[in-house]
Structure 1
Amino acid sequence: MKTRTKVAAALAAALLASACSQGSATKAPSGEGGRTTLRYFTFSAAPDHVKDLDAIVAAFEKQNPSIDVVVETAPFDEYFTKLQTSIAGGTAPDTFELNYENFVTYAGAGSLLDLGAVGGDGDLSAYAAESLNAFKRDGKQYALPASFSTVVLFYNKDLFEEAGVDLPTADWTWADEQAAAEKLTDRKKGVYGDFQPVQFFEFYKTLKQAGGEFLSADGKKSAFDSPQGVKAAEWLVSKVGRTMPTEAEIGGTADYDTNLFKSGKLAMWHNGIWQFAGLKDVPFEWDVVVEPGDAGKASAVFHNAVAVSSTTKLGKEAYAWARFLSSSDVAASTRIASSWELPPVADQQVLAGYLKDPKPANRQAVFDALESIALPPVIKRQQEMQDAVTKELSEAASGRKPVPDALKAAAAEVDALLG
């Protein structure tokens, strides 16, 4: 993810036009016949769920015939740069997707509309309370939770069986994963045993698995430059060039790990349940399990929400769309049927259908992962913190710095951001 920058309004408009071209834009803004055009910017729909989002849009427009929703998409690694650019340039979309980690920054900057101001005392009991509260600030609801997802361990059953290695179980530890990965790696055939990105999102989770904490109890200082932090970072770094490709071998190729797994050349893959839909037709058997732990289990859980720009002139219409996208029966059933993450609804019966899909067979792991959650650390300068940690971990992964030195440098940068 890139550092957010302010550029001219002309560039902001160009960037958003480019984002729109990458996804679905079913209608051109018209404003004719009393119809209102509402823009929605998202990262999670493309590339696998654009049609699913189109179906939700169509259902909303049928119920709200005076509103046209125009969808714009961008890849996650470009999304927040483009969003911040559009906000700085005065061309912000009316509604947009936000993840939990970046919510604090946008709410604190005054970029989000207080939804209570346009929604009044609307009944929000359809949402799971913990998901709803995640997007509150100073007692105000600045976004509505739209989905949640967990990270699990994907594995290629065929590769395991061909190598005579026991399949992963929920009781596995790091040591079990490492032993299996070494047996499954065959670099001459281009087969790798494991893939776990060496970056911020994997580090805070493995740190929790090792028994460490990212921030001090008061949140005013980093705490990951610790024995547990070194152990977690070394766990990630030790895989590079051993049971997973090096940075040079990856060569900056987009979706390298996804393509590697789909091609049947990767035995284990740490990734999110949003990948399920894209694996429906791969020519091998695969399944998932809760990720292995060390001192304990810890699974990453990501929450996404729908927010409304504080500068929109369509507050009530934007709120109506946010409510529909995040809590309607149509949205919930569409997400479940297409394996597009999960709706954060209070009614657990709605989620029951998710387990009926036979691929992957062990969908229960998605819910088992919720028993030991590792939430991402959140600060006001979130993106800068993520970039700083990833940069130093990359230095260690490439061999340019020892792990303890890289963590020490990362901690100093994070402390400066907290100060």
Structure 2
Amino acid sequence: MISIVGLVLSLVLSGCGNSSSSSSGTSSKKITITMSMWDPVGTATPSYIKAFEKKYPNIKVDILEIPVDYSQKIHQMIAAKDAPDVILSWEADVKGFAQNGVIEPLDSEISKTKAFKMSDMIPAAQQFKVNGKIYGLPWCYATEILYYNKDMFDKAHLSYPNANWTWQDFEKAAKKLTVVKNGKTIQWGADALSGDIWYSSIGEAGDEIVDKNGNLSLSSGLVKALQFQNQLTNVDKASPRPSSGGQVADLFAAGKAAMTRQGSWYITAYQNNNFKWGIAPLPKEERAYNSLHTGFFTINSSSKYKKADWKLIQFLMSKEGQTLIEQSTNNPSAEMSVAAKGAYKVPGKNGPSDWNAMTESAKSGQFGYVLANPTVTTDLASDFDSVILGQKTIKDIQTEDIPKEQAILDFTNSF
């Protein structure tokens, strides 16, 4: 999962909703509701929670951090009937939670709210439904984009990447930007493609990746993506081979690669780069595509305080709440009008300045591989690396690895 900077889970020791106040959440007597998130917030109360509690002084929000095994622990709390009132649910969990009656549909409340509009959401968020109903709302989003070293492009007299770039443009530039001296590559045209970034490439080549029933849908797009990266790595010699196990050095940050395909969360990681750099949408093949990452605010069906839960979600989805979340996480709001104001933007001294890459990526972004069990998608990404390393063939992936991982999905989805 887009290790995306996210909201973290909160759980009071006596269980969720431990007050004796009215379930309406509107009593003058103070009540406590609990909310889950996965990234650490530490001891300080997040700004967006402080703002909510100031607006609704009779509702206290407790947050419990679950930075490790988040999804697994949420499932355990649900089974123990001790889950939080508001669950920040992983994309892969929402459908199962909804179908098993664990979370509440939100359509009725959404139809009455004036805090936000679904029509203002990025396309993928508008389409994120289970059996035609909305069960969760995105707290913000991260995507995958192309980073490029402007200094290297300028030295090679090449135009910068843009939204119209194709795989062929990417390959052509990568070859020109690769520098070899005395038989040793001292500058790579593009950093290795490894890890979950594989899935954006597969989506660009046309595969659905995960179908509407939650099954793996990897066919011709997978083959094309593997062949293209093999060409870049083993034929063009414009991209380094991935390390066994999927762990690779960040050659782009080290100033040894002209381009890298990575998550938007690397924008803050690259703030101190000592070279000029920019961002662009990922190059397209059959279509423009990139993997979106987020979490969805959902209401526990067992919560005693559903009206208070909705007040919290409604506030967090309002312009005020979303702006505070943007400032806290440096991730754009899934509400286009909020993201357009740019509170999430934190440029470094050398880049980026061309933020339109985020807007364009939001238009073509999809919740693809993140809808499947992350263990399955991580294992497969490692298998894809093995093809580039010459340890496996594409046929091995098709006849052995995909069926094996689908069996794991079938087992996990049966619960």
Shift of 1:59: 0.5
Shift of 1:210: 2.2
Equivalent in the alignment of 2:201: 206
Which of 222, 225, 245 lines up with 2:219 in the alignment? 225
CA distances 1:151-207 after superposition (whole Å, capped 9, x unpaired): 21112223433555543233332233234334545696875443464345533x323
Secondary structure in 2 aligned to 1:147?
coil
Query: Measured at CA, do residues 283 and 125 of structure 1 come closer, stay the same or move farther in structure 2, by a change above 3 Å?
Result: same
CA distances 1:300-348 after superposition (whole Å, capped 9, x unpaired): 33453211233333333222222222x2222222345567322233xx5
Q: Is the 8 A contact 1:136 1:142 kept in 2?
A: yes
Q: Distance in 1 between matches of 2:37 and 2:341?
A: 25
Which of 101, 104, 119 lines up with 1:113 in the alignment? 104
Q: Distance in 2 between matches of 1:298 and 1:131?
A: 11
Which of 49, 54, 79 lines up with 2:46 in the alignment? 54
Shift of 1:244: 3.5
How do 1:65-214 and structure 2 match up within 5 A?
Answer: 65-74=57-66, 78-115=69-106, 119=109, 122-123=112-113, 126-129=116-119, 130=123, 133-162=126-155, 165-184=158-177, 192-195=188-191, 197-199=193-195, 202-203=198-199, 205-214=200-209
Shift of 1:402: 0.8
Q: Is the 8 A contact 1:192 1:245 kept in 2?
A: no
Query: Measured at CA, do residues 281 and 64 of structure 1 come closer, stay the same or move farther in structure 2, by a change above 3 Å?
Result: farther
Q: Distance in 1 between matches of 2:45 and 2:125?
A: 21
Query: Measured at CA, do residues 52 and 176 of structure 1 come closer, stay the same or move farther in structure 2, by a change above 3 Å?
Result: farther
Q: Distance in 1 between matches of 2:45 and 2:352?
A: 23
Q: Is the 8 A contact 1:277 1:339 kept in 2?
A: no
Q: Is the 8 A contact 2:142 2:265 kept in 1?
A: yes
Q: Distance in 1 between matches of 2:44 and 2:187?
A: 34
Q: What is the root-mean-square deviation of aligned Cα atoms in Å?
A: 4.3
Which of 260, 264, 267 lines up with 2:258 in the alignment? 267
Question: TM-score under structure 2 normalisation?
Answer: 0.73
Q: Distance in 2 between matches of 1:103 and 1:214?
A: 18
Equivalent in the alignment of 2:321: 331
Equivalent in the alignment of 1:40: 35
Give percent identity, aligned residues only.
Answer: 23
Q: Is the 8 A contact 1:128 1:344 kept in 2?
A: no
Q: Is the 8 A contact 2:8 2:36 kept in 1?
A: no
Equivalent in the alignment of 2:289: 298
Q: Distance in 2 between matches of 1:247 and 1:111?
A: 41
Q: Is the 8 A contact 2:36 2:64 kept in 1?
A: yes
Q: Is the 8 A contact 1:198 1:237 kept in 2?
A: no
Question: TM-score under structure 1 normalisation?
Answer: 0.73
Secondary structure in 2 aligned to 1:176?
helix
Q: Is the 8 A contact 1:336 1:353 kept in 2?
A: no
Shift of 1:245: 5.2
Q: Distance in 1 between matches of 2:73 and 2:194?
A: 24
Equivalent in the alignment of 1:363: 355
Q: Distance in 2 between matches of 1:120 and 1:367?
A: 25
Equivalent in the alignment of 1:15: none
Secondary structure in 1 aligned to 2:278?
strand
Q: Distance in 2 between matches of 1:317 and 1:28?
A: 20
Equivalent in the alignment of 1:12: none
Which of 324, 335, 342 lines up with 1:354 in the alignment? 342
Q: Is the 8 A contact 2:188 2:258 kept in 1?
A: yes
Q: Is the 8 A contact 1:339 1:354 kept in 2?
A: no
Q: Is the 8 A contact 2:299 2:309 kept in 1?
A: yes
Q: Distance in 1 between matches of 2:88 and 2:218?
A: 30
